[in-house]
Amino acid sequence: MSFPGVAETRPLLLYSGSRGGACRRFEPFVGDPDVLLEGVAYDPGCPAGIYVFARGASAAGLTVDPSEPGSELWLTSALTSKVLSIPLASPIRLPLHLWLVADETDVAQATALRDKLLDAAYPIMDAMGTGLTLDTISSVLGSGALAYDCASAAAIIGEPETYEQGRINVYFVKNYLQSDWTPAYNCVDVLHPEMIFISWGYDNIPKPTLAHEIGHSLGLVHPQTEDGPYGPVQIWGHTFEVDPFKSGNFMWTGPAITNASIGQLFALNFSSESWLNLDGSPFKRPQARPCQDDWGAGACAALNSFVPGGWPPP
């Protein structure tokens, strides 16, 4: 199996379908750059699909829908020829509108933080094999009369000067929620995952903050959430099966991001809750589906599954 368009990289392939006489789900293979899959067969009883992630390229998906005659042809043809070539396009350019909510005297500070977080976000999105890069435009907004927080989302959206439809809107505000000193917030709680707030007046904002918030926009959640003795809490270690302080996971809140799980890469691109796949999105993928919100495998790859040997490869 080869991947034209991929240069100097090792793609990650997830295979679902019949192999070795058993149904496999999201079985990972790292190419060098090709992948040799042995024992593959077509079995209409086994949901079949191949998904590919690679640095510098868009994610790709090929699936078989048994209710759709002919959708298995790519697989049966590949089994006959014993070769499957999956061309990978350039990364999707994720459109962001970066709003600097700052008075004239503070614009330089807000701009400096924006640039710092962008510098961190570009290599994270690329090296993790998310299939995404950023397409940004920036505007300056005076601090003005509008309250810039998620509770005011409707008012912000109602003003074309403060919100751009069709983009993820990132607001760099002085100090989100004032007294809380939170580095950032994504408005997914109020059903606006395309709205992100980042505090430029907070001195110690971690560099991966923007990438992490984009992860929320694209349907990712924190490593683990379940009911604890005093409400919903995160239980560390369950998802990663390693100490999250060491893991540098995409959605952990550490000082650097150094890995993403298989399920996270999958959900970013193929979850119907990802902003990319919402109704009306020009990026919507035909393979998008509702992903399970627990941590095991289901309709989507498991959020807590990792590539053996680590991902991304050096």
Partner 1 sequence: MILPRHTSRGPARTGAMAILFTLTAACAAPLTHEEQLTVERYLVCFECPAPLQDVRRLAGMKPRATVDSLDVALRRGPTVQRTAEADSLLNAGYTRDSTWRSRNARPALPPRDSVVAPDSRSYVDGYRARGALGMGWIRTARALRYLDQAIATGQLPPSVLAAARFARDSIPSANGPPSP
**Range list of β-strands (E), the chain:** 12-19, 22-30, 40-41, 49-53, 60-63, 92-101, 132-141, 168-173, 184-187, 192-199, 226-228, 231-233
- Of 46, 120, 173, 260, the one binding partner 1 (CB under 8 A) is 120
Residue among 58, 94, 83, 102 at smallest CA distance from 1: 83
Nearer to partner 1, 118 or 302 (CB): 118
Query: Could you tell me how many residues of this chain bind partner 1 (CB under 8 A)?
Result: 48
Nearer to partner 1, 230 or 308 (CB): 230
Please tell me the distance from the alpha carbon of residue 157 to that of residue 106, in angstroms, as a whole number: 24
- Of 24, 97, 192, 207, the one binding partner 1 (CB under 8 A) is 207
Query: Does 232 participate in binding partner 1 (rule CB under 8 A)?
Result: yes
Nearer to partner 1, 119 or 161 (CB): 119
Nearer to partner 1, 205 or 218 (CB): 205
Three-state DSSP class for residue 72: coil
Contacting partner 1 within 3-62 (CB under 8 A): 8
- Of 41, 79, 127, 140, the one binding partner 1 (CB under 8 A) is 127
Query: Does 93 participate in binding partner 1 (rule CB under 8 A)?
Result: no
Nearer to partner 1, 162 or 186 (CB): 186
Query: Does 194 participate in binding partner 1 (rule CB under 8 A)?
Result: no
88 close to 4: Cβ distance less than 8 angstroms: yes
Rounded to a whole number of angstroms, the minimum distance from the CB of residue 83 to partner 1 is: 29
Query: Does 234 participate in binding partner 1 (rule CB under 8 A)?
Result: yes
Nearer to partner 1, 137 or 181 (CB): 181
- Of 177, 221, 278, 297, the one binding partner 1 (CB under 8 A) is 177
Please tell me the distance from the alpha carbon of residue 82 to that of residue 234, in angstroms, as a whole number: 46
Rounded to a whole number of angstroms, the minimum distance from the CB of residue 232 to partner 1 is: 8
Rounded to a whole number of angstroms, the minimum distance from the CB of residue 236 to partner 1 is: 6
* Token pair belonging to 298: 């289901």
- Of 72, 126, 194, 273, the one binding partner 1 (CB under 8 A) is 126
Residue 291's CB is within 10 A of a number of other CB atoms, namely 22
Query: Does 160 participate in binding partner 1 (rule CB under 8 A)?
Result: no
Query: Does 248 participate in binding partner 1 (rule CB under 8 A)?
Result: yes
Rounded to a whole number of angstroms, the minimum distance from the CB of residue 224 to partner 1 is: 11
Query: Does 206 participate in binding partner 1 (rule CB under 8 A)?
Result: yes
Query: Does 182 participate in binding partner 1 (rule CB under 8 A)?
Result: yes
Query: Does 255 participate in binding partner 1 (rule CB under 8 A)?
Result: yes
Interface contacts to partner 1, rule CB under 8 A: 8, 119-120, 122-123, 126-127, 149-151, 177-187, 189, 203-207, 209, 212-213, 228, 230-236, 243, 245-246, 248, 253-258
